[in-house]
């Protein structure tokens, strides 16, 4: 599938690692997106419960070009700065994901400057 995308000039492919379970937790598995990464010639983006160190390792080992950090970014609006400083992360509250409330969950997590 990933190889067939090349003939259409697709710029990027964004996939979720098979290590993610239906409970949205990371699990151990022998399955990997590496064969798809090798087959696809464009930018390869992966998601799936990555930590800062896991993401850096995946990029360094050429398993991906970019890492998507969904839940961590929701809870840490300044995630790149926190990663740069190796600063502590806010814990996310899954109960506030995708709710219609405009205040709770998406805009109430503190920035690093408010926590130091």
Would you place residue 95 in the very low, low, confident or very high pLDDT band (cuts 50, 70, 90)? confident
Q: Is residue 84 part of a domain?
A: yes
Burial class of residue 28, CB neighbours in 10 A (0-12, 13-18, 19+): exposed
Q: Which pLDDT value is given to residue 116?
A: 54
Q: Which residue range(s) make up the domain with 46?
A: 1-17+32-68
**Would you state the pLDDT for residue 19?**
65
pLDDT for res 28 = 66
Q: Are residues 76 and 62 in the same domain?
A: no
Residues 91, 77 within the same domain? yes
Span 22-66, pLDDT tens digits? 555 666 666 788 999 999 999 999 998 899 999 999 999 999 999
Same domain, 53 and 80: no
Instruction: Assess whether 59 and 102 both reside in one domain.
Output: no
Percentage of the chain beyond pLDDT 90 is 58
Domain count along the chain: 2
Query: For residues 106 and 108, what is the distance between their CA atoms, to the nearest angstrom?
Result: 6
What string of H, E and C letters represents the secondary structure of 4-72? HHHHHCCCEEEEECCCECCCCCECCCCCCCHHHHHHCCCEEEEECCCCHHHHHHHHHCCCCCEEECHHH
Flag whether 24 is in a domain: no
């Amino acid at each position: 599938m990933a190889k067939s995308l090349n003939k259409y000039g697709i710029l990027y492919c964004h996939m979720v690692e098979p290590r993610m379970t239906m409970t949205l937790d990371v699990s151990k598995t022998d399955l990997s997106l590496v064969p798809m990464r090798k087959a696809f010639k464009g930018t390869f983006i992966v998601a799936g419960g990555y930590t800062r160190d896991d993401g850096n390792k995946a990029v360094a080992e050429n398993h991906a070009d970019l890492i998507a950090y969904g839940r961590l970014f929701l809870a840490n609006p300044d995630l790149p700065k926190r990663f740069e400083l190796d600063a502590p992360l806010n814990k996310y509250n899954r109960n506030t994901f995708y709710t219609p409330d405009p205040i709770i969950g998406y805009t109430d997590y503190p920035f690093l400057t408010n926590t130091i």
